Amino acid sequence: ALLAAALLAAMMSSAATCLLSSATIFVVDLLGAPAEAAQTVRRTRLAAAVIALLATGLALRAREIIPLLLFAYSIYSAGVVAPAMLGFWRRELRLSANGAVAAMVLGGGVALALQLAERPGPWGLVVAVVVLLSWRERPQESLSAGAAKP
């Protein structure tokens, strides 16, 4: 009984973490957090409720868990891997925050569309990389670029 309780606690903790992180990312990163903390909390709670309902609906319709996990991981990784990995070289590549958000949305969106069309592949990741690299910041001119050289 103790082992079952420990397993249940681990599952509940993981589910709560996924739910809260999804809601927080949606509210803070995609919508833009409001100035008031109370407003952020309300929006995050609402987003968590909507995401929980969507997840419950998916779970009830799924016959097996592994294909559902692969479906979710392919969409997540297509949107997140490129901005996360190339983010280490943000300054050298002149990557912008708007480009990273666009890469996440479009990369994940393409992966979702391909999964629903039953044509999976690496194209979501490819789209994310292309969008991220094409939405770069303009190089800033040096302060001394306009100065006369002796």
5-57: pLDDT as tens digits: 999 999 999 889 989 998 998 898 878 877 888 999 999 999 999 999 998 98
- Backbone torsions φ then ψ of 28, nearest 5 degrees: -80, -50
The three-point CA angle 46-48-51 to 5° equals 110
Distance CA 132, CA 100 (A): 6
Partners of 45 in the β-ladder: none
The DSSP string of 60-110 is HH-S-HHHHHHHHHHHHHHHHHHHHHHGGGHHHHTB-HHHHHHHHHHHHHH
58-75: pLDDT as tens digits: 888 888 888 888 888 888
